[in-house]
Structure 1
Amino acid sequence: MLELIARPADMTPEWMTRALREAGVLGEGRVSALDYEYIGTGKIGDNARFTLHYAGDASGAPATVVGKFAAEDETARSLAGAQGAYYTEVMFYRHLAERTAMRIPTVYASVISEARDEFILLMQDLAPAEPGSQLIGATLAQTRMVLGEAAKLAAAFYGDDSVMELDFVMNAARNGSGELAQQYLQQCWPTFLERFGENLSEEAKAFGARYVNAHNHFATRHPGPRTLVHGDLRIENILFTDDSCWTVDWQTPQISSPVTDITYFLGSSVEVEDRRKWEREIIGEYHERLAGLGVDLPFEEVWAQYREQSMHGLLLTILGSSFSSPGERSDRMFRTVIERQLQHCLDLDAGDFLP
């Protein structure tokens, strides 16, 4: 069994050789040396690209790989470990990734500590694919790529009861987790408004407060068939080329509506005016894509779920800010996203689904 390598600086050629051999991508050759550089802007994890140098026959072996590690920041690492984020991602790749046609990176090795607060995922390097930017927002072409990927995931697990009780898949209807999340939201909301609410309208603030006090109702009321969703399908968790995309950061898979992921993407990662222009067309295309994959829902039901699930991202944005230290870019991102999300809810009259 591979031992845990907790930091990029601790990686050795010997460990890398063994991991790649066990994954079946390295034959008789060996990794003789390696270099690394940090990549990405993760809040609760650190990513490093390793450039590999080989001795012997290394035909077919990757020239570079990506390692994902727990955050070096002790506070972020402790919070993420306690909430099960690292364990969840490792378990998703081990047990569920191969069941969907959604494009996701190949994992060569995964190790997690007994306390679940340190881990490594050694993954395929998807460069030159690059993540989008929350601050810039998605193009129509990117949005169409994402709807196709979201439909693949939703269809793969639609109505599949086998995933409902997995301990690494979030399910708000289980063990009172919706009530607990509501308590956290109520604690965080005043501070969140102080940090990120300066440009919010009074109507948006009022809706946010209403949602915070009714989160458990929203999280547990969906009556129809459910599926596994990514849960945080926003543009910075997706790597794009000109004609394809791959989804990463599987720390929040959960049971929800089959419309949740595409709704969240439109509400958090698309500029408000663009979303208003595109949403009918995009949801229509998504409905058709689901039908082609065997998920038979009337368009009226898909649209109703789209309206309701516009609230999905509020939890992630409000609670996610607790992982974020003040900084110019991260503060801009949270302000941008919450403004988009609350306007999304208001535009779609999402309050119709709250008590």
Structure 2
Amino acid sequence: MSQPKIPLTADTIDAAWLNQAFDGSVATITNVKAERLGEGVGLLGEVTRLHLNYAANSSGPQPASMIAKCQAAAPGNVFMSQAMGFYERESAFYKQFSQSINLRVPFCYYTDVDPAGAPYIVLLEEITNPRMVDQVAGANFDDSAAILDQAVKLHSHFWDNELLWSLSWLPPMNNPLYRAAREMAEPKLESFIAKWSPHVAADTMQWMRELTPKYPDMVDWWVEQGNATFSHTDFRADNFLFGGSAGEGVVTVLDFQLSARHVGMWDVANFLGQSVTIENRREWEKTLVRRYYDGLITAGVSNYSWDRCWRDYRYCLLHQAWSQVAVSDIDPGNDRGRALLHAMITRVFAAAHDLQSGDLLSEF
């Protein structure tokens, strides 16, 4: 059976569309009701719950609901996702690893992406009744430790090995589109500095000015450092579910749109620099980064020293601060989205300042 036309929004998905997409892998659906999910969820795509009803005596799995991910509502967010290949990456990840990776991720019932990079659709298992961490409020210590344990699982599984290098759809950090982020950032830089200078340390804004023209050199430098792995690259609290139908104590990892071949420390810095309050990050970061490092060594990673690990953490914080400049025209969508962006920016700039991550600028 041919694949159905990819929907622009989940509320246009009906029973006929789903039955064509599933082609018998799920029981025959008779009715579907779409329910958009919470404020500030999915800056780069719309996230919708589909409530499903089935024909009597129909054979096959009958999940009561699924989660549908479609392209973003804001045209600018779609353009960026299309240009960067975000939707293609997530679709490819779920096709290949939905059932074979050593992380708990939602089962993927169906995925497709247009050859142009948008629109796209992913239909996922819904993890029901989970506990979630409010990223705006900030994660507590125990949840932070559990999330970073997932980073150990992911990174050690792919650490600079043949499996990692076989993933043709997973770009390196210095791929042409990421190198071109300098051109994306340059026209936004001064407006970003004007808007955010009242909220962050002055030295960090000077670092943004110095780093912008050198950005392509920096991503080349990162690749030359080696120790590449599968980086989730959006390792924020909003992308984790605790427990629920996945099982008590299980952490489910969501959202692989931004995944890349990069240093694993990106994910650790991404989480601690954006999902933990400034005060708690200052108190916990050394302990939690060490927990991550010890986990890697226990999992069999070698030729990676603690000094290199801590250096990578410091330098990733500066890189992530600069990344906020490049994507500063993303539409946050609503009040929760705006609060989330404010927390992410102020926290990561504070972390870069605290650890004097501007030292990275002397490396290339």
Shared fold per TM-score greater than 0.5: yes
C-alpha contact 1:321 1:334 (8 A) present in aligned 2: no
Q: CA deviation at 1:131?
A: 4.3
Q: CA deviation at 1:325?
A: 5.2
Q: 1:340 aligns with which of 327, 339, 347?
A: 347
Q: CA deviation at 1:220?
A: 2.1
C-alpha contact 1:207 1:342 (8 A) present in aligned 2: no
Residues 321 and 97 (structure 1), Cα distance of their counterparts in 2 relative to 1, 3 Å cut? farther
Deviation readout 1:111-136 (Å, 9 max, x if unpaired): 22232221111111112225433321
Q: Please give the alpha-carbon distance, in whole angstroms, between the structure 1 residues aligned to 2:338 and 2:293.
A: 35
C-alpha contact 2:136 2:343 (8 A) present in aligned 1: yes
Q: CA deviation at 1:90?
A: 0.9
CA RMSD after TM alignment: 2.4
Deviation readout 1:293-330 (Å, 9 max, x if unpaired): 21123322222222222223224422333221575433
Look up the SS of the partner of 1:32 in the other structure.
strand
C-alpha contact 2:159 2:229 (8 A) present in aligned 1: yes
Q: CA deviation at 1:245?
A: 2.3
C-alpha contact 1:67 1:123 (8 A) present in aligned 2: yes
Q: 2:291 aligns with which of 285, 289, 293?
A: 285
Matches within 5 A, 1:1-355: 1-6=2-7, 7-20=9-22, 22=24, 24=25, 26=26, 29-40=27-38, 41-57=41-57, 60-129=61-130, 131-160=132-161, 163-164=164-165, 166=167, 168-175=169-176, 177-222=177-222, 223-241=225-243, 243-296=249-302, 297-324=304-331, 327-355=334-362
C-alpha contact 1:111 1:119 (8 A) present in aligned 2: yes
Q: Please give the alpha-carbon distance, in whole angstroms, between the structure 2 residues aligned to 1:16 and 1:217.
A: 46
C-alpha contact 1:66 1:125 (8 A) present in aligned 2: yes
Look up the SS of the partner of 2:52 in the other structure.
strand
Q: CA deviation at 1:230?
A: 0.6
Q: CA deviation at 1:66?
A: 0.8
Residues 180 and 129 (structure 1), Cα distance of their counterparts in 2 relative to 1, 3 Å cut? same
Look up the SS of the partner of 2:142 in the other structure.
helix
Which amino acid in 2 is paired with 1:228?
A: F
Which amino acid in 2 is paired with 1:126?
A: I
Q: CA deviation at 1:30?
A: 1.9
Residues 118 and 31 (structure 1), Cα distance of their counterparts in 2 relative to 1, 3 Å cut? same
Q: Please give the alpha-carbon distance, in whole angstroms, between the structure 1 residues aligned to 2:69 and 2:127.
A: 13
Residues 211 and 39 (structure 1), Cα distance of their counterparts in 2 relative to 1, 3 Å cut? same
C-alpha contact 1:197 1:335 (8 A) present in aligned 2: no
Which amino acid in 1 is paired with 2:218?
A: F
**Alignment identity in percent?**
22
Which amino acid in 1 is paired with 2:53?
A: H
Which amino acid in 2 is paired with 1:311?
A: L
C-alpha contact 1:19 1:108 (8 A) present in aligned 2: no
Which amino acid in 1 is paired with 2:30?
A: S
TM-score, structure 1 normalization: 0.89
User: Which region of structure 1 is more displaced relative to structure 2, 334-343 or 88-97?
Assistant: 88-97
Q: Please give the alpha-carbon distance, in whole angstroms, between the structure 1 residues aligned to 2:47 and 2:94.
A: 16
Residues 169 and 343 (structure 1), Cα distance of their counterparts in 2 relative to 1, 3 Å cut? same
C-alpha contact 2:107 2:125 (8 A) present in aligned 1: yes
Q: Please give the alpha-carbon distance, in whole angstroms, between the structure 1 residues aligned to 2:240 and 2:327.
A: 18
> Greater relative contact order: 1 or 2 (C-alpha under 8 angstroms, separation 6 or more)?
2
Look up the SS of the partner of 1:121 in the other structure.
strand
Q: CA deviation at 1:233?
A: 0.8
Q: Please give the alpha-carbon distance, in whole angstroms, between the structure 1 residues aligned to 2:254 and 2:82.
A: 18
C-alpha contact 1:5 1:11 (8 A) present in aligned 2: no
Q: Please give the alpha-carbon distance, in whole angstroms, between the structure 1 residues aligned to 2:100 and 2:327.
A: 28
- The aligned length equals 350
Deviation readout 1:29-61 (Å, 9 max, x if unpaired): 421212110014222211111111122245752
Which amino acid in 2 is paired with 1:275?
A: R
Q: CA deviation at 1:248?
A: 1.6
Look up the SS of the partner of 1:198 in the other structure.
helix
C-alpha contact 1:103 1:245 (8 A) present in aligned 2: yes
Look up the SS of the partner of 1:171 in the other structure.
coil
**Which runs of no fewer than 5 residues in structure 1 stay unpaired?**
none
Q: CA deviation at 1:270?
A: 0.7
C-alpha contact 2:99 2:107 (8 A) present in aligned 1: no
C-alpha contact 1:37 1:48 (8 A) present in aligned 2: yes
Residues 270 and 213 (structure 1), Cα distance of their counterparts in 2 relative to 1, 3 Å cut? farther
